[in-house]
Amino acid sequence: MPDSVEFLVVGLGNPGEEYQNTPHNLGFMVIDRLAESNAIRVSRKENTSLVGLGAVRGRSVALAKPQTYMNLSGPAVRGLLERYDLKPDRLIVVYDELDLPWTTLRIRIKGSAAGHNGAKSLIGSLGTNEFTRVRMGIDRIEDLPGNPVKGAQYVLAPFKRAQKQDVEETVGRAADAVEFIIAEGAAQAMTKYNRRAQGLNTEEE
């Protein structure tokens, strides 16, 4: 019988050292931050994922980093939900979002994948789009001179040294948001954190 778990928190990313310090691995960075601040060791190998069990805000959680590539992460997450006998409403997924401005945070409780391949894989595997997402904005296209680099080239390129502080602060804020969701619920978290995404429609679900 697996350990009793109340929430599954999944960070999306790509395995391998070459991806560690890239926008597409912000989800992994948030899991690492949560693990560090809550003394959880994310080292168990389950369902092609690295998993750590522990407590966050007094609730039992499993923190997970799927070791498939991001666009194939759905089956791994579905397997973990089944293993811990959880429904998708107890799933919190953290990932980068190219459609959101740099350093903004956006929490959603349902909705389409919006072109994100990781979210698309999850929705396809889970058969529902109703699960909580913490999306981290990475769009800095306006900073790039001339013809901007789009898509894969950008999300898989290492962060620049000048971005380090922004990255640290955004990862910390996203980890705080996950803890707040666990303690107070996603609806309250949306009210608190989504206001930071200036110029966006705050009524988004």
Q: Which residues are catalytic?
A: 24
Three-state DSSP at 101 gives: strand
Q: Which amino acid is at 171?
A: V
How many residues in the chain? 205
46-55 residues labelled b (16+ CB within 10 A) or e (exposed): bbbbbbbbbe
**CA 150 – CA 86 distance, rounded (Å):** 36
Dump the DSSP string for 148-201. ---THHHHTSPPPGGGHHHHHHHHHHHHHHHHHHHHH-HHHHHHHHGGGSTTS-
- How would you classify the pairing of strands 105-108 and 91-101? unpaired
SS (H, E, C) 116-148: CHHHHHHHHHHCCCCCEEEEEEEECHHHCCCCC
